[in-house]
Amino acid sequence: MIQTLLNIGRETIISTWLESKIKDYALLKRLSIDPKRKIILIEGVMHGERLPTRVFVRDYKITTKGDSAFLSFEKIETSRPWLNTFMERYIHLIIEDKKLEFPSKIYKTLLPLIM
């Protein structure tokens, strides 16, 4: 039960942060983090679309440097073939070195829960 509460808290905090990042493009429907398998599932509905798109962030890891924390990953896969092709070709232009920086207030709260 305690683990379930931790999962809900972790996913709620990250969902709030993620929603602020994608609000101009999509509505976040679900976020699920599996720290044992190192997989993040993001499900959202892109503006103008009816069906949700699933995004799988695979083999993620959290690293820290000073007061900053970074989420890096090996691969992003989606439920849309065209989006997979786009990500393979252009992810380096959107996310430098396949690494996202977390705001310090989020990572200090979540770091023990997502590693």
Concatenate the DSSP letters of all residues of the chain into one string. -HHHHHHHHHHHHHHHHHHHHHTTTEEEEEEEEETTTTEEEEEEEETT-SS-EEEEEES-EEEEETTEEEEE-SEEEES-HHHHHHHHHHHHHHSGGGEEEEPHHHHHHHHHHH-
pLDDT value, residue 5: 44
> What tens-digit pLDDT sequence spans the chain (115 residues)?
545 544 555 677 778 778 888 899 999 999 998 888 999 999 999 999 999 999 999 998 878 787 777 888 888 999 999 999 998 898 877 777 777 777 766 666 665 555 5
- pTM of the predicted structure, to 2 decimals: 0.76
pLDDT value, residue 24: 94
Backbone phi and psi for residue 43, each to the nearest 5 degrees, phi listed first: -125, 130
What Cα–Cα distance (Å) separates residue 74 from each residue in 40, 43, 60, 84, 97? 12, 19, 7, 14, 10
